[in-house]
Structures are given as structure tokens and as C-alpha cells.
Amino acid sequence: MRNVRRILLALAFTLATLAHAQGATIDCVTDAPATITFMGDPVGNAAEIERETVAAFNEACPHITVTIVSGPASASDLLANYLTMLEGQSGDIDVMRVDVIWPGILAENLVDLMPYFSDEELAAHFPGFIQNNIIGDKMAAIAFRLGAGMLYYRTDLLERYGFDGPPATWDELEGMARTIQEGERAEGNADFWGFVWQGNNYEGLTTNALEWQVSEGGGSIVSPAGDVEVANDATIRAFERAAGWVGTISPPGVVGYVEDDARGVWHAGNAAFMRNWPYAYSISFDSEAIGDVFDVAALPAGASGTSAAAMGGWSIGVNRYSANVDAAVAFAKYFASYDEQKRRAIRSSINPTIAALYQDADVIEAVPFFAGLDSVFMGATPRPSTVTGTRYNRVSTLYSTAVHSILTGGEDAETALTLLELDLESLLGN
């Protein structure tokens, strides 16, 4: 049923886009022929959507050739690629995807996009996502998606094992995951696991661990005022609990998982619960195993009594070493436009940064959780990238490395967090 609905939606979307495209104007910025390169996203169905984006852009701006080079799946690896490229003042990649936590790190190497946008165009976006890209007097990038951590769950399995709804707390999640896993294995599915998430040592682990920590009441790594918040009982408890999942309700290999690894297990029908970003929603309908039997909810709460979702998101910027800045800006502008955010919302369940799209009937119909989980998105917890600025990546690496050593049993939580607190204090000069 859901697949039929998807096909109808895709058709409705195509017709709506065609109708809209007739009236829409695409700003090519330059008439000069140019070839530009964009480092694409390999996660979920993003690569397919990006090819559609380029084709639509070329309808209006055929003189600008866009070459897509597939980037790495891990945000941390992507940043490392960029930093190596920029260190050599290379313009090899003209158009860059910029994670919500990177404007402070990358701004000096990105073109100021402010002159290319009208006030009206900027006012269409959520102000916080525009503000986040303004570093000094420069707008380093333009937002094209936002996101937050969410819980995916199997409706069929909850019902089969007698649970009324998704877990409200981490303790409940543990209990349900264990019951379902035992039951499914007893039925002969030896590959079945209770809960999959992102445990590799990279930026994704920072977001998962931040959710465990904040929901337990342990603070948010570095407070907005600059105070380090990691060595405390709540955070120790939160990370010990997560370490206990590894090899019990979560596969031992979870400590090597990035987003699409978790999604692969889920997609194959081998997980009861998954922590992931919104992108995993629409592509899950394509799964033979679970396409009709899943839903999403807020992540469970910890001892603080509330749940926490890490705030994610991406913008698009132009490399200041690009040989074709105007052509690159034209593509970046199109990428972040209403039409493209709508395409990504419907085809990839990617939350837009343009407020009006949340009132768009096609979008609401394709992605009902945008409205249903409104409070999750609006109340998401940012990582401390504003307060730590250019040092954010070192903060995050120290944090994810400490968490990873707890998860893999290298260090106990108390020792790892005490050392982490000292490292962060000295990095931040407190």
C-alpha cells in the first residue's frame, strides 16, 4: 500500500514540479560557459537526487556543466578532504556541502554569498540557519537541509510482542529490544538485533553520544557560556548504559557503523529500533522487508525526564579558490532553492530550511512526520560549534574518541570522561 502511495506521490510531485518550473526563474548568475565540480553525498538516495538536481539546473543554465564527484559517507572524512584541499589552495571542488557545525572552520575559505541573495530570498529560510552561516560580516554558505536524531521502530514487531507504542525511556528501549531480539532469534533469524545506531569514531558518534548525555541531564559537552560539561555522574551513567548495548542488543560491529551501516541492517529487516536522521525515512519504504511496517518517534528520554535530539543540517558554499565562482554560486543557489528543497523533502524526506515548505500540501502528505515530530526538530540540541568556533572539530574528535574508548571497553567511563574534561579544558584555554 505504502509503495503505491509513494508512486502516486512521485507522480504528483513530477506534475507539480513541471507546473512550478514554468513559472520559476533560475538565476544562472553568469552567461559564461563553465565546468564546475561538486562533491556529492553518497548517503541514502542522495546521489540519485543530486543527478536530478543537476539535470533540472541544466534546463535553465545549459552552459554550466556540473560534474559530481562522490564524497565520503562520513562527515568527518569529508571535512578532512576539504581541509587538505584548502590547505593547498585548490579549487578542485567548486561547490561544497557544509555541515551545520563547520561554518566557523571553513568560512575563511568560502565565498561571501550575501551579495547574491535578496533579503526576501534569505527571509524565506529559518533565521537560525541563516545566522549560523554568518561568520563576521560574511555569509559563508546557504542552508539547504536540517535534521535531528530520531527513533525508527518496527510497528509489526511491537505489536507481535505486545508493546503499545515506541519506548519512552532508554530503559524501556533496552527491555523491548531484548525481548524482540530473543523472540526473533528463537524464530530462526540469527542476524536480528534490537537496536542499531552510529558508533564509529567520527562526527556521527558525537551526535549519538550528545543525545545520550543530554537526555540523562549531563550537559552538552561545552555550554553556550564556554564551560566544559562532560565529567559528571549523569554522563558516566549514560555512556555506561550505551557501552552495555554493544554486543547485547546492538551488534558488536556497531562501534564501526556510520549512518548507512545502521540503515542497511534496518532495511534488511534485521533491527527492531534504529537511531538515524530523517533521510532514512522515505528510502525505508523501498525495503521489501519493512516498507509497510515501520514508523518514527522522538528518541527515548533518560534520567532528565526528556529526550534529546542532536541538531543536524547542511548548507552549500563556494570554494574561494574556484576558477568559476559565479557559475558555482548559480548552482549553490539553485541547490538551496524552494524547488530543490521540495524535491529533496518528497523524494528523500530531507527537512527543508525554507519555512513555507512545511505548509506545502505535497510535502506534508509525503512526509507526515515533519508535522508530527515538529517539537523534535524545533527543540533539537545544537553541538557546541558556535562557542568553540574554529576549534570545534578538535573538541568533537576528543569527545568521540573518548566515547568510542568507553564503548569498546578501552577505558571505563569515569576515567575517560575525567581525562576528556582535562583535554577540553586545555584545548579551550579554560
* CA end-to-end distance (rounded Å), the chain: 57
- Binders in 83-102 for ligand GLC, by CB under 6 A: 99-101
Q: Which is nearer to ligand GLC, 28 or 98 (CB)?
A: 98
Does 199 participate in binding ligand GLC (rule CB under 6 A)? no
CA distance 166 to 171: 12
Burial of 162 (0-12, 13-18, 19+ CB in 10 A): exposed
Instruction: State the minimum distance, in angstroms, from the CB of residue 361 to ligand GLC.
Output: 26
Applying CB under 6 A, the span of 202-210, 247-255, 321-329, 373-381 interacting with ligand GLC comes to 202-210
Partnered with residue 35 across adjacent β-strands are 65
Q: Which is nearer to ligand GLC, 100 or 107 (CB)?
A: 100
Contact string (CB under 6 A) for ligand GLC, positions 382-421, x = contact: ----------------------------------------
CA distance 8 to 39: 31
Taking alpha carbons only, the member of 151, 111, 98, 51 closest to residue 313 is 98
Does 352 participate in binding ligand GLC (rule CB under 6 A)? no
Does 302 participate in binding ligand GLC (rule CB under 6 A)? no
Q: Which is nearer to ligand GLC, 116 or 335 (CB)?
A: 335
CA distance 246 to 285: 28
Q: How many CB atoms lie within 10 A of CB 84?
A: 10
Q: Which is nearer to ligand GLC, 145 or 237 (CB)?
A: 145
Does 200 participate in binding ligand GLC (rule CB under 6 A)? no
What single string gives the DSSP state of each residue in 37-93? Answer: EEEE--STTHHHHHHHHHHHHHHH-TTEEEEEEE--SSHHHHHHHHHHHHHTT--S-
Cell reading at 181:
531480539
What single string gives the DSSP state of each residue in 77-90? Answer: HHHHHHHHHHHTT-
- Binders in 30-69 for ligand GLC, by CB under 6 A: none
Q: Quick check: 349 and 367 in contact, CB under 8 A?
A: yes
Geometric angle at alpha carbon 247, from 242 and 249, rounded to 5°: 65
Q: Quick check: 199 and 221 in contact, CB under 8 A?
A: no
- The stretches of 259-324 forming alpha helices (DSSP H) are 259-267, 280-284
Does 349 participate in binding ligand GLC (rule CB under 6 A)? no
From 207, 215, 284, 337, residue interacting with ligand GLC (rule: CB under 6 A): 207
Q: Which is nearer to ligand GLC, 203 or 229 (CB)?
A: 203
From 38, 245, 273, 277, residue interacting with ligand GLC (rule: CB under 6 A): 277
Q: Which is nearer to ligand GLC, 75 or 297 (CB)?
A: 75
From 103, 312, 317, 382, residue interacting with ligand GLC (rule: CB under 6 A): 312
From 103, 104, 204, 218, residue interacting with ligand GLC (rule: CB under 6 A): 204
Does 317 participate in binding ligand GLC (rule CB under 6 A)? no
Does 129 participate in binding ligand GLC (rule CB under 6 A)? no
Does 13 participate in binding ligand GLC (rule CB under 6 A)? no
- Binders in 135-154 for ligand GLC, by CB under 6 A: 147
From 75, 95, 308, 318, residue interacting with ligand GLC (rule: CB under 6 A): 75
Q: Interface with ligand GLC by CB under 6 A: which residues? A: 75, 99-101, 147, 203-204, 207, 277, 312-314
